[in-house]
Amino acid sequence: MAVNQRVKSEIWVFAEQRQGELVDVGLELLGKALELAHPAGWKVASVLVGHASEKALCEQLLSFGADEVIVADHPLLRSYCSQSYAKILGKLIREYDPKVFLLGATAMGSDLGARLAVRLRTGLSAHCIGLELSPEKKLLAVVPGWGGNVLARIYSPHTQPQMATVMPGVFNMPQEKEATGRIVPVDVDLNPEDVTYKILEVKREAGQEHALEKAEVIIAGGWGIGSREDWQSVEDLASALHGMVGATRPPVDEGWAKENQMIGQSGRTVHPKLYIGIGISGEMHHMVGIQNADFIIAVNRDPEADIFKMCDLGVVGDFKEILPGLIEEIREKLQK
């Protein structure tokens, strides 16, 4: 490969990898970036940082449409460390001056993005659920606002790159096609002191990994459920419909539901065929996580609840008077 190749892409996407495998959100973002960039006459680079498994991953990124794959390969980059990764990415970004830099809102992407924004003195929109490019080619990042059904567009008009971390699952995976892009290896100048911590052990929890993201039926409960005892009826409805249980933040804080069941801006983004929300008011922070559901049913006592403006079928009533009968009817119908 020729030395001193220049990177030409205006939008860079961090291609997060975990143990030699690309993480979906890096590909989802690549797809979205291509959709934004090409009409504007821009190009998109996936940025791969790591060691040893890069060749196969580069091919994969090219097959998902990347115009360029920037590869920073070094033994000291084998494991993620925020300071070593920020050092080499900060240097690359200063050198090539991309207009936009996108990362997944994962543990790694959030941490790395935060550090890079300081290093580059630029704005970072965190946990976004949408991306747009304005006619002036400014990146507009969509985040839920306060006060019900409102979203805000955030941007950084005076600094570059314009950065955002985006929730996994918000955008679709791009289609694979014939690779036309090129690979651009870059020099990595790192010292052992740049790796400032040592990972002693990684534990994986088997199963459950994408369960909620892949569920076809989700029954979610909110603050309106009121108690741990009554939470059981959410579980029962889910089991009757062979669905999975989701929650808004309050049930998780109260301990009725688990952290990994939380749906919304700081939880998971899901796309079931059927979503039933019970005792959920419809705060935007939750609703952004279910925007891609095919059919939304809401049960809430309060006829003014915001969720009724965002559902396909709303039931105004007390879940305690509806769920027991509903579960019974469902079981009867299933037996027939």
Partner 1 sequence: MRIIVCLKPVPDPKHWSRLALDPKTGTLIRGGIPSIVNPLDRKALEAALQLREKEGGEVITLSMAPPSAMPVLREGLAMGADLSIFLTDLAFAGSDALATSYIMGTAIRKLARYDLILCGDQTLDGSTSLVSAQIAEFLGIPNLMHVSAIEVQKSGVFHVRSRIEHGSMLVEMKAPLVLSVAKEINEPRYITLMNILEGEKKEIRVWSSKDLSLSEPWVGLKGSPSQMADLFIREAKRKGEILQGDPSEMTKTLADRLHRMGYC
Residues 245-264, interacting with partner 1 (CB under 8 A): 253, 259
Q: Is the CB of 59 or the CB of 312 nearer to partner 1?
A: 312
d(C-alpha 326, C-alpha 70), whole Å: 55
Does 226 contact partner 1 by CB under 8 A?
A: no
Binding mask 38-77 for partner 1 (x = CB under 8 A): ----------------------------------------
Q: What is the dihedral of CA 56, 58, 60, 66, to 10 degrees?
A: -170
Residue among 19, 196, 227, 304 that touches partner 1 (CB under 8 A): 196
Q: Is the CB of 4 or the CB of 147 nearer to partner 1?
A: 147
Q: Smallest distance from the beta carbon of 60 to partner 1, in angstroms? A: 19
Residues of this chain, 109-128, that bind partner 1 according to CB under 8 A:
110-111, 113-115, 117-119, 121-127
Residues of this chain, 83-112, that bind partner 1 according to CB under 8 A:
83, 86, 106-108, 110-111
d(C-alpha 257, C-alpha 227), whole Å: 11
- In Å, what is the CA distance from 57 to each residue of 34, 49, 160, 211, 225? 18, 11, 28, 25, 46
Query: By CB under 8 A, which span of 51-59, 94-102, 151-159, 227-235 interacts with partner 1?
Result: 151-159
Q: What are phi and psi of 292, to 5 degrees?
A: -95, 10
Q: Smallest distance from the beta carbon of 5 to partner 1, in angstroms? A: 30
Question: Judged by CB under 8 A, how many residues of this single chain contact partner 1?
Answer: 88
Q: Output the six-digit token pair for 53.
A: 């498994």
Does 7 contact partner 1 by CB under 8 A?
A: no
Query: In terms of Cα–Cα distance, which of 284, 280, 285 is closest to 297?
Result: 280
Does 302 contact partner 1 by CB under 8 A?
A: no
Burial string for 23-44 (b: 16+ CB within 10 Å, else e) reads: bbbbbbbbbbbbbbbeeeebbb
Does 244 contact partner 1 by CB under 8 A?
A: no
Q: Smallest distance from the beta carbon of 52 to partner 1, in angstroms? A: 20
Residues of this chain, 273-292, that bind partner 1 according to CB under 8 A:
274, 284-285, 291
Q: Output the six-digit token pair for 295.
A: 């059919």
| AA identity, residue 186 | V
Does 192 contact partner 1 by CB under 8 A?
A: no
Does 150 contact partner 1 by CB under 8 A?
A: yes
Does 166 contact partner 1 by CB under 8 A?
A: no
Does 173 contact partner 1 by CB under 8 A?
A: no
Query: In terms of Cα–Cα distance, which of 66, 81, 83, 88 is closest to 12?
Result: 66
Q: Is the CB of 65 or the CB of 161 nearer to partner 1?
A: 161
Q: Determine which helix (DSSP H) or strand (DSSP E) holds 87, and give its type and residue range.
A: helix 82-96
Q: Provide the phi-psi class of 88: left if phi over 0, else alpha when psi is between -120 and 50, else beta.
A: alpha
Q: Is the CB of 265 or the CB of 269 nearer to partner 1?
A: 265
